[in-house]
């Protein structure tokens, strides 16, 4: 049973890829006896179903449509800071007048303000990093004055402690092109400038996965690995019935997908998804479509706006070979024995899920941390290949077909499959009882249960 005197409010940035890991962390805390409440925006609150976690609204100032209501990133973040600070304070006051006063706020690293609210109430604050520790270390190096912005092409390759040598196209896009997403970058850099205001700095990764970085940064920064934040059914089975994150902003067609997969041989299907935030150009969609058709392999493709971007005669040309859906339960698909390859944008959640479920990857990156994640997938973890873009920034059909063939039947495909299985097993070890991530979460809970707030 949850201890009402040990109450944590968890605040995600209200996008699918941010809600999932923070909700999973809330469930993990609840499984260890902590009373966990997810505080999210009215626009997303009805999409969340997690029986062991409370759900309460806080406002970003755009209650009807969330981010789409705002005029842009900067306006949205400013509104969420102003209105979110006030409504979070009201929520804390409500709980403090009950038998479950708030002990700690755990909040998404894209949000800069919850730590200040925590300080006003004299409670603990913990920031939760939703990128890899390796990518986060680059932002930390910038704050420390050890890496300059913008990163100039003539200064690459970039060599930093615990990281492989990184070329210009392998850097996070926020660093390679800092003016393109300046509001997000400003929020990220503000967060790393104020890490020491937090009592904990958690990261959705595990020590074994980024062991070189862990060794290089030990004692220099306060990051604690607690991941991978993947539902327990796929890893350690410590949480009963935990087969999904419990949040979906779109209606999945999972039953249809699983029935189709059940008819396919083991390791035969290419699964294609670019996550919840990617906006893929019509030209890239067209090249992907004909590249998949040319592979002559069964494929399951998740694409939210398919009716607007797919070539006119594509669906009729593929027959029973492929299936195109708007959304699905990615974990159930990746866990299916028929899936042998994951064509992914390499967002951190998808990368962790591919690693945790042991599926080799083809990386078709878009922005943010994805180019760096793809570098690790190919060269550090050796579980996949990166698709090369042409001068227009497009992965052409022949390139995609070549990469799929390399992962499925190429001379290194056996090595990739073996490595994928290795990382899957290490992910399970990290989160099971006594594992590195599980121990770190336990230490957090023990501190929360200590009645003395230091």
The residues that are catalytic are: 18, 108
- For residue 331, give the nearest of 416, 258, 250, 280 by alpha carbon: 258
Q: Tokens standing for 70?
A: 């705002």
Q: How many other C-beta atoms are found inside a 10 Å radius of the C-beta of residue 201?
A: 22
CA distances from 106 to 114, 139, 198, 440 (A): 8, 20, 10, 15
> Tokens 């009373």 label which residue?
35
3-state class of 276 per DSSP? coil
Handedness of CA 317, 322, 325, 327 (dihedral sign): negative
Strand partners, 343: 272, 362
Contact 366/389 with Cβ under 8 angstroms? Answer: no
CA distance linking residue 295 with residue 302, whole number of Å: 17
CA distances from 450 to 6, 9, 291, 315, 446 (A): 9, 17, 57, 60, 6
Beta-strand relationship, 299-302 and 269-273:
parallel
- What b/e string do you get for 117-127 counting C-beta neighbours within 10 Å, with b at 16 or more? bbeebebbbbb
> Tokens 């299916």 label which residue?
336
CA distance linking residue 74 with residue 79, whole number of Å: 9
Secondary-structure percent of the chain, ordered helix, strand, coil, rounded to 5: 45, 15, 40
CA distance linking residue 277 with residue 304, whole number of Å: 10
Contact 353/331 with Cβ under 8 angstroms? Answer: yes
- What b/e string do you get for 400-427 counting C-beta neighbours within 10 Å, with b at 16 or more? bbbbbbbbbeeeebeebbebbebbbebb
Chain centre distance of CA 49? 19
CA distance linking residue 174 with residue 172, whole number of Å: 5
3-state class of 303 per DSSP? coil
DSSP string covering 202-263: EESS-TTTTHHHHHHHTTTS-EEE------GGGTT--STT--S-SB-SS---HHHHHHHHHT
Contact 111/13 with Cβ under 8 angstroms? Answer: yes
């Amino acid at each position: 049973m949850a201890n009402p005197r040990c109450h944590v409010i968890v605040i995600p940035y209200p996008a699918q890829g941010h809600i999932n890991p923070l909700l999973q962390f809330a469930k993990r805390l609840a499984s260890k006896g902590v009373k966990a409440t997810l505080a999210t925006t009215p626009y997303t609150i009805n999409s969340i179903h997690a029986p062991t976690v409370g759900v309460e609204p806080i406002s970003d100032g755009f209650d009807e449509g969330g981010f789409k209501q705002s005029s842009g990133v900067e306006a949205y973040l400013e509104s969420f800071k102003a209105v979110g600070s006030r409504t979070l304070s009201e929520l804390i006051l409500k709980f403090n007048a009950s038998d479950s006063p708030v002990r700690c706020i755990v909040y998404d690293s894209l949000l800069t303000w919850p730590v200040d609210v925590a300080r006003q109430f004299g409670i603990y604050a913990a920031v939760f990093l939703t990128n890899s520790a390796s990518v986060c270390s680059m932002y930390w190096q910038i704050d420390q004055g050890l890496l300059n912005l913008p990163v100039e092409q003539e200064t690459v390759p970039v060599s930093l402690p615990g990281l492989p040598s990184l070329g210009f196209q392998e850097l996070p896009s926020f660093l390679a092109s800092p003016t393109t997403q300046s509001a997000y970058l400003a929020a990220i850099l503000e967060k790393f400038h104020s890490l020491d205001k937090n009592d904990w700095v958690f990261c959705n990764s595990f020590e074994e996965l980024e062991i070189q970085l862990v060794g290089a940064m030990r004692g220099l920064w306060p990051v604690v690995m607690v991941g991978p934040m993947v539902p327990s059914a796929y890893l350690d089975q410590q949480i009963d019935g935990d087969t999904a994150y419990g949040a979906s902003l779109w209606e999945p067609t999972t039953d249809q997908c699983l029935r189709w997969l059940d008819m396919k041989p083991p390791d035969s299907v290419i699964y294609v998804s670019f996550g919840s935030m990617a906006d893929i150009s019509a030209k890239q969609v067209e090249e992907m479509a004909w590249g998949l058709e040319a592979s002559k392999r069964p494929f399951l493709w998740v694409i939210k706006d398919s009716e607007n971007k797919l070539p006119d005669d594509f669906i009729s040309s593929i027959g029973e070979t492929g299936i195109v859906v708007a959304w699905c339960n990615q974990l159930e698909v990746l866990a299916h024995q028929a899936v042998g390859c994951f064509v992914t944008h390499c967002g951190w959640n998808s990368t962790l899920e591919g690693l945790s479920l042991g599926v080799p990857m083809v990386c078709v990156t878009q922005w943010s941390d994805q180019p760096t994640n793809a570098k690790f997938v190919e060269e550090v973890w050796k579980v996949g290949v990166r698709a090369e873009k042409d001068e227009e920034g497009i992965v052409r059909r022949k390139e995609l077909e070549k990469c799929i063939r390399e992962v499925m039947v190429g001379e290194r495909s056996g090595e990739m499959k073996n490595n994928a299985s290795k990382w899957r097993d290490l992910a399970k070890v990290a989160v099971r009882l006594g594992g590195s991530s599980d121990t770190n979460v336990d230490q957090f809970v023990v501190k929360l249960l200590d009645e003395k707030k230091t």
